[in-house]
Chains A and B, each alone.
Chain A
Amino acid sequence: MDCVVTGGNVKVLAKAIHSLSRIGDELYVEPQEDGLALRSVNSSRSAYACFLFAPLFFSRYTIPIGLAFRCKMAIKSVQAVFRSIATLEKTVEKCHIELDDQKNRLTFTLHCKHGLMKTHNLSFQDSESLQAVFDKDSYSNVFRSHPRLLVDTVVHFPPSLEEVTVSLSDDRMWVKNHVEDETDRSKAMLTELCLASDEFDHFSVKVQNSVTFCLKELRGLLVFAESTGLPISMYCDEPGSPVVLSVTDSVLEGNFVLATLSDDSNLRKNNTKRACTPPPPPDDFMNDDMDSYLIAMDTSVMPGPSASRPPSPPLTNSTSLKQTATANHRTRLPSEEEEEEEEEEEAVDSSGPPNKKFCSLFFGSVLPPSSQMTTQPLTGQEVLASDSEDDVQ
């Protein structure tokens, strides 16, 4: 792996890393044919973020042929490379990212003004591929706005606030602080903001409902979106189904997938016709990894490249992530799932307690070709991890 980033793109890369650091403690690096993927997931796996930098983002982009390389490293150490965004902008002319095979180090070299050269040789761990399963096309409610709108909205909430609830009507969005239970409600201060549809570039609500998700990760994305000025698209569905926030331009794509609180009443209503995920989360995973941390991550078995394949028509009724997952032959209905996976769930719990009722439901285990077609390019990559090295050519 050998990549060179120049000029203003260094700052974009730095911002992406800072924004990922709001999610988790580890940075998953995966050089793919369609670009460099940087990902992170939080400890309870209720939030996942991925940035994909296309080869055109780089002034040089070469990845090892035939040998899939992916690793994870402490995000703090990568952040240290790009510590001060302000000086970065002024002084760094070029950033060179290179894999040192012999020493097992990922080398970040910053070429700065006045000939100063900063070299960081960072250690890394091998890792499985980290993938969240989601399908932006299947969401019923879609919004797009300039990041400023969300920044101005979020600024009204105190930094200590953990979750916000977004409620939707045909032409309005309400954002309010989430208060845990009814008894607290009398004491707590409630903040609510109403955003009219005309404040958004795009506002389409098909299902009027409300979702509750963590604010911290949203703030993380806003850091990135605000500095790059890229519009934020927001995809949401019913409670319990993850919210997807994304920023896209011609050379990069960033997706933040945040679990939402599942609403019990809503759950009961829909239980019959929809494969809702009740808490505790039926984490869906398939095989025993050496690394228990990654158990709930997607470690898919893709026999060969699929990215080159044209997308086939989407599944007929893939209106939600969970339905997509249901179409997945490796994923079973929650009822069966729960029984079968009770034991395995314990293993997942050991790597971090679930965050309240948030589920890491968006980590499906396998992406067979059929479901891949419906997912965004992000998840439909040929570089999806293979379980054995032999499967990768």
Chain B
Amino acid sequence: MPLSTQSQGDAEQYVLVACLDNARNLSNILKAITFKDHAIFSATPNGLKVTVEDSKCLQANAFIQSEIFQEYTIKEDSVGFQVNLTVLLDCLNIFGGSTAPGVSTALRMCYKGYGYPLTLFLEEGGVVTVCKINTQEPEEPVDFEFCSTNVTNKVILQSESLKEAFSELDMTSEVLQITMSPSQPYFRLSTFGNSGNAHYDYPKDSDMMELFKCTKTQTNRYKMSLLKPSTKALALSCKVSVRTDSRGFLSLQYLVRNDDGQICFVEYYCCPDEEVAED
């Protein structure tokens, strides 16, 4: 592989080196969280976590475990930087991002440390492109304090059934209301749009329901505009876990299978909308 031989000499200078035979394994999962330009990268020996936030109300995290990479070397316990996600995605698709079988872009992603650009070596069919993306001061991601011990309700669904609902959601509704309950309607998505309201009910014994663990009836509203980007993650995923905690915060965890059959996770946290009188 030309990439490895070429940059062998520089390897020692980098605090982070991550290689992928197929850059799509990274670009796909990053697409699932692309709704703002700025992405906070934090790398640990376990892997790479990419965070995107909106209005301090929504946070999306993509986790790419170190095993996904063909090579993953990190010289510090934790390496953090911030880059423009749109630019990064454009670079990863610099060869057109062909989905044809047998054609893939190899990636070697290197970072020298604070103040240095993120360097990408991309190779396809013997052609190598080097991209340097300026890094920014990493911001501290918002801590949503979503703790599994505070989870009141949790369901795991096959994504297929939610995809349909999300693709049909009435976008004239300002909010998406999620009801989870140990009794009927069990799991309900509701919208309140210009022309009336709509409810999508999933019974707890549905084939699509992999896990149903609801302890208390909870109804929360979330801004449709905030939840909209999560559809991208939903589209890629095969399973989704929907959890709410005692404060009504929403956690959506998506299990995404990449081209090579490996599993990655994408997670969305969303604040509930302010309490409004029931109509």
Q: Which residues of A contact B (CB under 8 A)?
A: 73-74, 76-77, 80, 83-84, 87, 91, 105, 114-123
Contact = CB atoms under 8 A, between A and B. Distances in A.
B161 A84 contact: no
A161 B106 CA distance: 48
Nearest to B204: A115
Contact of A120 (B161, B165, B198): B198
Nearest to B205: A115
A166 to B, nearest CB: 37
Contact of A77 (B195, B203, B207): B195
Contact of A116 (B167, B193, B195, B202): B202
A114 B199 contact: no
Interface in B165-209: 165, 167-168, 170, 193-203, 205-208
Given A115-B207, A116-B164, A119-B201, 17 more contacts: A77-B193, A77-B194, A80-B168, A80-B198, A84-B167, A115-B203, A116-B165, A116-B201, A116-B202, A116-B203, A117-B199, A118-B198, A118-B199, A118-B200, A119-B199, A122-B195, A123-B195
23 contacts: A74-B195, A77-B193, A77-B195, A77-B196, A83-B167, A83-B168, A84-B167, A105-B196, A114-B206, A114-B208, A115-B206, A115-B208, A116-B165, A116-B201, A116-B206, A117-B203, A119-B198, A119-B199, A120-B196, A120-B197, A121-B198, A122-B196, A123-B196
Contacts of B203: 115-117
Given A114-B207, A115-B203, A117-B201, A91 B195 contact: no
Contact of B208 (A77, A116, A117, A118): A116
Interface of B: 161, 164-165, 167-168, 170, 193-203, 205-208
Contacts of B161: 114, 116
Nearest to B163: A87
Nearest to B170: A80
B200 A76 contact: no
A83 B208 CA distance: 21
A79 to B, nearest CB: 10
Contacts of A84: 164, 167-168
Contacts of A105: 196
A319 to B, nearest CB: 43
A189 to B, nearest CB: 36
Nearest to A90: B164
A120 B196 CA distance: 7
Contacts of A115: 202-203, 205-208
Nearest to A106: B196
The 10 closest A-B pairs by CB, nearest first: A77-B195, A122-B196, A115-B203, A115-B206, A117-B201, A119-B199, A120-B198, A114-B206, A114-B208, A114-B207
A370 to B, nearest CB: 41
Contacts of A73: 195
Contacts of A74: 194-195
B201 A76 contact: no
Central interface residue in A83, A115, A121, by most chain B CB within 10 Å: A115
Nearest to B202: A116
A285 to B, nearest CB: 28
Contacts of A116: 161, 164-165, 200-203, 206, 208
A295 to B, nearest CB: 25
Nearest to A105: B196
Nearest to A91: B164
B181 to A, nearest CB: 15
Nearest to B167: A84
A183 to B, nearest CB: 44
B20 to A, nearest CB: 34
Contacts of B195: 73-74, 76-77, 80, 122-123
A84 B195 CA distance: 18
Contact of A121 (B164, B165, B197, B202): B197
B278 to A, nearest CB: 14
Contacts of A120: 196-198
A121 B195 CA distance: 8
B200 A117 contact: yes
Contacts of A121: 196-199
Nearest to B200: A118
A87 B200 CA distance: 15
A351 to B, nearest CB: 21
A103 to B, nearest CB: 10
A53 B197 CA distance: 26
A260 B97 CA distance: 51
Contacts of B170: 80
B99 to A, nearest CB: 22
Contacts of A76: 195
Nearest to B164: A87
A386 to B, nearest CB: 28
A121 B193 CA distance: 10
Central interface residue in B164, B167, B196, B199, by most chain A CB within 10 Å: B196
A83 B198 CA distance: 13
A80 B202 CA distance: 19
Nearest to B158: A114
Contacts of B200: 116-119
A104 to B, nearest CB: 10
A359 B201 CA distance: 47
Contacts of A83: 167-168
B185 to A, nearest CB: 9
Nearest to B160: A114
A122 B203 CA distance: 23
A116 B122 CA distance: 45
A60 B199 CA distance: 23
Contacts of B196: 77, 105, 120-123
A125 to B, nearest CB: 11
A115 B208 CA distance: 9
Contacts of B194: 74, 77
Nearest to A78: B195
